[in-house]
Structures are given as C-alpha cells and as structure tokens.
Amino acid sequence: MREAKVLLLGCSAGGFGLVYDLVLGLPEDFPLPVIVIIHRSKKYRSSMEELLDSKSRISVKLAEDKEQIKKGFVYFAPPDYHLLLEPEGFFTLDTSEPVMYCRPSIDVTFQSVADVYQENVIALLFSGANADGADGLAYIQAKKGLVGVQNPEAAEVRTMPDAAIGRCQVDMILSNSEIFSFIGSIATVLNSVKDGKD
C-alpha cells in the first residue's frame, strides 16, 4: 500500500450504489487517482459523474481521450469505450470489440493500468453478473499489485467476485464496511508517509 500510485474499482450489476457511496466518502486529500470501470449501456445517459462531482470532496469526471491522469480525481470509464492508460500517463479511449460482451471492459483497463504502474496498483472488484475483472485482478497480482474483492455474500450479484476468487488468490475478501475502512486506510497510510510521520 505504501508504494501505491493508483486505485482501481470495477463492478457491474449491483455495484453502482457501493461505488457511489465510496466516492462520496473520499477525503479531499485522497492521495491516489481513482479509476472506476462500471458496465453500463451507451443507450442510457447517466449523470452519475456530474452528481458525484457536485457532492463529493474530490473531483469526479468521465475520462477523456489524451487526458493526463492526476491524483485528486476520480475518472469513470465512458460508456461504450474501453479505457486504456498509456505509458506516458494519459488515457486512450478505444472502440475495439467488447470483451465478455462489455465495453468498457474491467479486464482491459486493469491490465492496461498494471502495465504502466506495475506493482504500484491497488484494485478492488465488486458486485457483477459476469466474470469480467477476474483476469484483470490476476494480472495485477502477478505484477505484485494489491487486489481485493467484495465478499460474495455481501454482493448483490456474486458472479464477479466469485469468478475472481476462483481465478487467483486475492489478497482481501472484504465486507462492505471493510471496503470503506480499507480505502480510508489508504489515505491515512499514504498521507502519513508523505508528511514524514511514519
């Protein structure tokens, strides 16, 4: 956790509310950029980012093509695009084929970000109705990043966390309250390291 450079969150069915509450709970000095990949159809306009940006203590937006990643922001993958991160630290929006019928794909983003940040990635996977994200978590873990899932018993739809647990030895299986505590500890640990209090 002390060397982390980015936090990744992924979910589909049943995970919207948890992600919403997590973003609202982030402190204004949260020390990492956050990238969120949620399965959602391009047919339905979502105002989630605008609503969160107006209510949260941290800036929330849709990721844009060629935008440089920065801490102090939560970036959502736009509907109908795969979200990639280039080695220079800027986003690319990609329209290649859906993965597991999904675009954006959690796997695609998780793997792309891990290629850039290597072991300095923290990734969490929540409720969802397919296995997207399992390969991405395994890929991050193979690069020595830190990976966790929502406890399947707590997930509204347990397929996604179950698939990840079956695919790799995840570092953490967290209840909803533990997810909030863990993300709070990221801020505490990294900000204390930055301030030289550790």
Segment among 4-8, 27-31, 42-46, 103-107 with least mean pLDDT: 42-46
Catalytic residue among 39, 82, 105, 112: 39
Catalytic residue among 53, 132, 181, 192: 132
**107 is annotated as an active-site residue:** no
In the predicted model, is pLDDT for residue 198 greater than 50? no
In the predicted model, is pLDDT for residue 23 greater than 70? yes
pLDDT > 70: percent of the chain: 96
Return the pLDDT at 196.
60
Query: How much is the average pLDDT of 175-197?
Result: 88
Higher pLDDT, 46 or 56: 56
Beta strand ranges found along 13-81 (DSSP E): 34-38, 59-62, 73-76
Contact criterion met (CB below 8 Å) for 60 and 76: yes
In the predicted model, is pLDDT for residue 45 greater than 70? no
**132 is annotated as an active-site residue:** yes
pLDDT band per the 50, 70, 90 thresholds, residue 195: low
pTM given for the model: 0.95
Q: Which of 36, 37, 33, 91 is nearest to 65 (CA)?
A: 91
Catalytic residue among 12, 56, 105, 127: 12
- For the segment 126-174, what is each residue's pLDDT rounded down to a tens digit? 999 999 999 999 999 999 999 999 999 999 999 999 999 999 999 999 9
- For the segment 83-106, what is each residue's pLDDT rounded down to a tens digit? 999 999 999 999 999 999 999 999
The tally of CA atoms less than 13 A away on the side-chain side of residue 56 is 25
Query: How much is the average pLDDT of 9-36?
Result: 96
Rounded distance, CA 7 to CA 131, Å? 20
State which CATH number among 3.40.50.180, 2.60.40.10, 3.40.640.10, 3.40.50.300 fits the domain covering 6-194: 3.40.50.180
Residue extents of the structural domains in the chain: 6-194
Return the pLDDT at 155.
97
pLDDT band per the 50, 70, 90 thresholds, residue 58: very high
Write the CA distances from 81 to 68, 134, 143, integer angstroms.
Answer: 17, 19, 25
